[in-house]
Amino acid sequence: MSGVIPDPYARLRATTPARIGLGRVGDGLPTRAVLEFQAAHSRARDAVHGRADFDAVANALAPLESLRVRSRVEDRAQYLRRPDLGRRLRESDLSLLPRGDWDLAFVIADGLSAEAVNRHAAPLVHETLHRLPGWRAGPVVLAEQARVALGDEVGEVLGAKLVAVLVGERPGLSVADSLGVYLTWEPRVGRADSERNCISNIHGNGLSVQRAADTLAWLLDEARSRRVTGVGLKLEALDNGVSSPAIPA
């Protein structure tokens, strides 16, 4: 009879990147678990301090028009200390935004994970617009050192009815390249977070770009017809028996 004891956590670890049943060596963790934790921590730090490759993103967006702006933040250190400065456009960049009768404006913000933007932002824009025939979309705005609320000012200056901000989410110790989307009806400076809809966890091991585009297109259609986003859209949709987008099993 074998003296090897089966690992009771093996099946669970096969279904999640979470750290489950790491084991023990004396009073500490096994060397492998320690090294994997340190590697994950390094990936998270690199994601936060990295720079989005907006030149590559712009090329991936082609033939869509794109333009570059930045927030009032001077450098990455200030970005992490002063979220308020990341929510407003640099004044000299206001004139770069062409006002028009846009149904939708996309803003791609580096946020807290440059890698998420580099990998997922351009494909999500293309997939979403493919699901929105006839919509008038303004130039895609690539925003450096930007927070979510910067999209409110961008959308207001552009004159867009809706703004969708694609932003790198704060990395964890299992995922460092997760993208989030924040959708706001009639964007303007001072909008509250409760007036937005959010789609999160868009990455290779989470919500796929295709499924995120399905959900975003559904929300955009509902927001335009109901003229609201955020808590109001969710409650109104439920009150009127509107079904949520189908999520494949």
Per-residue pLDDT tens digits for 147-184: 999 999 999 999 999 999 999 998 777 788 899 999 99
SS3 94: helix
Distances (CA, A) of 238 to 74, 138, 222, 234: 43, 30, 12, 6
Q: What is the mean pLDDT of residues 89-112?
A: 95
Q: Is the pTM of this model over 0.75?
A: yes
Lowest mean pLDDT among 22-31, 36-45, 121-130, 216-225: 36-45
Q: In the chain, what is the straight-line distance between the N-terminal and C-terminal CA atoms, in Å?
A: 41
- Token readout for 47 is 């994601």
How many other C-beta atoms are found inside a 10 Å radius of the C-beta of residue 201? Answer: 13
pLDDT bucket at 246, cuts 50 / 70 / 90: very low
Residue 221 token pair: 């259609």
Least confident of 29-38, 76-85, 118-127, 183-192: 29-38
Give me the mean pLDDT over the 102-127 stretch.
Answer: 96
| Separation between Cα atoms, residue 179 and residue 201, nearest integer Å | 6
* Structural domain boundaries in the chain: 49-239
Query: How far is the C-alpha of 42 from the C-alpha of 173, rounded, in Å?
Result: 9
CATH code for the structural domain at 49-239? 3.40.50.11240
Between 19 and 213, whose confidence is greater?
213
Is pLDDT at 84 greater than 80 in this prediction? yes
Of 85, 97, 93, the closest CA to residue 145 belongs to 85
Give the CA dihedral 35, 76, 59, 92, nearest 10 degrees: 170
Residue reference for tokens 């999160």: 200
CB 187 within 8 A of CB 163: yes
- Would you tell me the crossing angle of helices 209-226 and 231-239 to the nearest 10 degrees? 80
Looking at the predicted structure, is the pLDDT value of residue 247 above 50?
Answer: no
pLDDT tens digits for range 39-53: 877 877 777 778 899
